[in-house]
A and B are shown apart, each in its own frame.
Chain A
Amino acid sequence: MADPRLFRLRVTFRETGRLAMLSHLELARALERAVRRAGLPYAVSQGFSPHMRIAFGAALPVGVGGTAEFFDLFLTDYVAAPKALAALQEASPADLYPVEARYIEHKDPAASVACPVSTYEVVFSEAPVSVVVPEEITVVRKKKEKTLAVADFLVGPVELDGATVRFTLAAKPTGSLRADAFARELVAATVAAGCAPATLHPTSFMRVEQREA
């Protein structure tokens, strides 16, 4: 709930290297600890088990890093944004590094839904001749198979530049297509079409941009 006395700081950070292997829960805990180490005047919820008022952006699959990840932190006192950023940087490991901090309005959408459109960049082990985008992808959700139409989620074309593939997916209120599932099927289709050898695999997988719908 919006408390007008609090200050809402949106912090953008990079999740890189080995730390892309963290689960969303592990990441959340690591960020909270960095906020504590930074000594920022974070707000604490009321109630039986008080906890830090912090909200995280849309989760990344394990193994996918990001250069434009963010969280919203609620502060009880105003700290100039550059000062808050410097304190956070001091308290963060290199692979979980804050790069920007700015205050946003209470009425702005919640961090988890603010940016449903994500652009990903995958660097592959070798350069495919071309990539084949599957039309449908079958995923298992709650032990049930579900077939998703790629066109419902894919925004714009899939770009190939050497060994690097770039694509943009939009999350829908009814569900989303996970970037790692999409990449896996993309590889399978590309290999099946003879456009790349069977050993084709990602060597780096990053979310490079998140934006509003």
Chain B
Amino acid sequence: MARRDLWPRVEPLLARVERPARYLNHEWGCADPVAEGDTAFCMIYPDTYELGQANQAVRILVNAVNAAAGMGAERAFLPAVDMADLMREEGVPLFSLESCRPVADFDVVGITLPHELAATNVLETLDLAGIPLRTAERAEDDPIVLAGGPCAYNPEPYAPFFDVILVGEGEEQLPETVALIRDLRASGASRAEILREIARKVGGAYVPSLYRWRDESEAQKAGSWVEPLFEDVPAVVHKRVFEGFAESSALEPMIVPYTEVVHDRLNVEILRGCARGCRFCQAGMMYRPVRERSADNIVAAVREGLAVTGYDEVSLTSLSSTDHSQIAEILTRVNADCAGLGVRISVPSQRLDSFGVEMAELVAGQKKGGLTFAPEAGTQRLRDVINKNVTEDDLFSAIDAAFAAGWRRCKLYFMVGLPTETDDDIKGIASLAQRAYDRAKAAVPADQRGSIRMSVSCAVFVPKAQTPFQWDGQISPEETLRRVGLLKRSVKYKAVDVHYHDPKTSFVEAVMSRGGREVADWVEEAWRRGARFDAWTELFNEGAWTGAAEALGISPAEIAQAEYGTDYVLPWAHITAAVSPKFLARERERAASGITTPDCTFENCAACGACPTLGMDIELQKLREAKDGGEPAKNPYRAILGSEANVEEGAML
């Protein structure tokens, strides 16, 4: 088929829309269009350029496909509402950036599912591309449509829309899948044959159309909601892990956008995974085992990355970068490299202690904006339930250090509606924030106390698949508002302000997070009724979602709020992040008794099952120092990669 170039039809539209730079391509570092004859993959982020171009998965996966032989990747993003409407009016379909050709002309299309509020945007994307919404409706020459990303851990609400859902890390899995499609297409295989082969051969590939969906009682008896239609299709899909992560270069090809995007900076991924073990956190379960890249690798990537991109900011990314065993060395070296260049350095951190503040101080320079801490719960009892291994003293010593070092603003993150939460826990949030304010005041000279700001930010607890709290329900939106009201009344200080997340969107998140295959109809109906860009507060269309539920006669509240025992088989039981269901159930029981579980990167193995199941180890550059400064506990699954540290670990074993 001759390539269709849509640019002559796109260009005239650009004068009529906001931020035309979203649609231009031609950024510094952008790749060439896919070469003629190569299998063409289109990587799509189902939201606008500003969000998608900054996304790590998009960058990694485009690079991975471009690095493989015989295939190439281009990018596409969902146009903003003004452009999407104009394109429909003018009959212009969704296009890729690099060659500006219709997305429907690609051999393979991949949509990442970054969060639970992207579902209607997936349909908007497919519709704008002119690709049939459901796998069952697609013809032989339609692209094979893949999904991946965090939501793949409960794929069922998306199941009918995708030909293949890839679970886990995609660095190797995606090029493997594209290569298989290429080879099978070349040999004349049919679409059905291709999908079957992917399910058989690609680790972590889930092909929903090859499974029959069971009803509840059958599922509970069988131990799974899906039944493979063929013997050679896996009954349980295990996530893939990129085993070479720690040794791979932290420097990746990078595109430098023209228009301002979120996280518009050089992002260097310094470690993957977090084993702190917060019981509500999906990321903490998804990316096990923890793997660190070396200080030399990271420092070189920052130096080279800044030089080739021209960025004036670098972020050392991961779920909790201050946990890296070499973080002090890394920051000191990066700081020295950046001296006098006007380059800002940022380090996301989950660490709530004075060490975390010390690290933040290392890179903050003179400009100390705000610091963010996430105690998540207001009382020690509830923090023990959720396994947030943080005490009031930890928080207060962090506050002391931060305000003494010159910070004047602090944001405290909490969750409302956590399992076992009572009104005392809500009042505890107010009390904790006010006492934190008192500590801050004591740490600041009297004449500067007026500038102290402490803000409390509350999200609604969303139960996530593959976590110890997956069996717990979400509280109703009305109950959320009552608890937030109680919190607001309990805060007496004027300098402490309270913000909270809209419970209506969190409700949709919970349904998407916990629902089964039946939820897909709800998503489609809501989209038909006008829901799209649900994550954009001002565009969230509540009426479309409630109207869709009524029309279909389903009760989303039941899905979001149902409480189950740990023996209940959940709709994602056929997907595993390698953390065993037994571990999740045990963690849920320990939560009920308020017993905490330590972080296995500092302490002994907590027997989550990830390492033995995957045949891997935690990979650290050197031993992480235990919090009390003492000798770290032994862990049979801990490998030390750094050269000096090898000696230490050898001696210890």
A positions within 8 Å CB-CB of B = 17-19, 21-23, 25-26, 29-30, 32-37, 39, 44-45, 47-52, 62-63, 91, 93, 95
Contacts and interface: CB of A to CB of B under 8 A. Distances in A.
A34 B21 CA distance: 17
B20 A44 contact: no
29 contacts: A17-B26, A18-B11, A19-B258, A22-B21, A22-B258, A23-B21, A26-B258, A26-B259, A26-B260, A29-B260, A30-B258, A33-B256, A33-B309, A34-B310, A35-B310, A36-B306, A36-B310, A36-B312, A37-B307, A37-B308, A39-B307, A48-B366, A49-B367, A50-B342, A52-B312, A52-B342, A63-B20, A91-B310, A93-B27
A93 to B, nearest CB: 6
B26 A93 contact: yes
A28 to B, nearest CB: 11
Contacts of B306: 36
B340 interface: yes
B258 A36 contact: no
Interface string B276-316: 00000000000000000000000000000011111110000
Nearest to B19: A23
Contacts of B309: 33, 37
A52 B3 CA distance: 43
A194 B307 CA distance: 56
A27 to B, nearest CB: 8
B24 interface: yes
Interface in B13-35: 14-15, 19-21, 24-28
Nearest to A43: B342
Interface residues of B, number: 28
A129 B307 CA distance: 53
Contact of B24 (A18, A37, A45, A51): A18
A44 B342 contact: yes
B21 to A, nearest CB: 5
Interface in B618-633: none
Given A17-B26, A32-B312, 9 more contacts: A25-B260, A30-B258, A35-B310, A37-B309, A39-B307, A45-B342, A47-B366, A51-B312, A93-B28
Given A26-B21, A32-B312, A36-B311, A21 B260 contact: no
A33 B26 contact: no
B652 interface: no
Contacts of A37: 28, 307-310
B2 interface: no
A17 B26 CA distance: 10
Contacts of A36: 306, 310-312, 341
Contacts of A45: 342
Contacts of A47: 366
Nearest to A18: B24
B341 A44 contact: yes
Interface in B200-246: none
User: Which of B11, B28, B308 has the largest count of A CB atoms less than 10 A from its CB?
Assistant: B28
A62 B20 contact: yes
Contacts of A95: 26
Nearest to A26: B258
B50 to A, nearest CB: 12
A51 B260 contact: no
A179 B19 CA distance: 20
Contacts of B341: 36, 44
A19 B367 contact: no
Contacts of B260: 25-26, 29
Contacts of A35: 310
B367 A21 contact: no
Nearest to A45: B342
Given A18-B26, A22-B21, A33 B14 contact: no
Given A18-B24, A21-B20, A48 B310 contact: no
B311 A19 contact: no
A49 B343 CA distance: 10
A25 B259 CA distance: 8
A39 B256 CA distance: 17
A35 B342 CA distance: 13
B316 to A, nearest CB: 19
Contacts of B15: 63
B367 A48 contact: yes
Interface in B238-286: 256, 258-260
Contacts of A25: 260
A25 B20 CA distance: 13
Contacts of B21: 21-23, 26
B275 to A, nearest CB: 36
Nearest to A30: B258
Given A32-B312, A63-B15, A93-B28, A51 B342 contact: yes
A86 to B, nearest CB: 17
Nearest to B20: A21
A74 to B, nearest CB: 12
B24 A33 contact: no
Nearest to B368: A48
B20 to A, nearest CB: 4
A142 B84 CA distance: 29
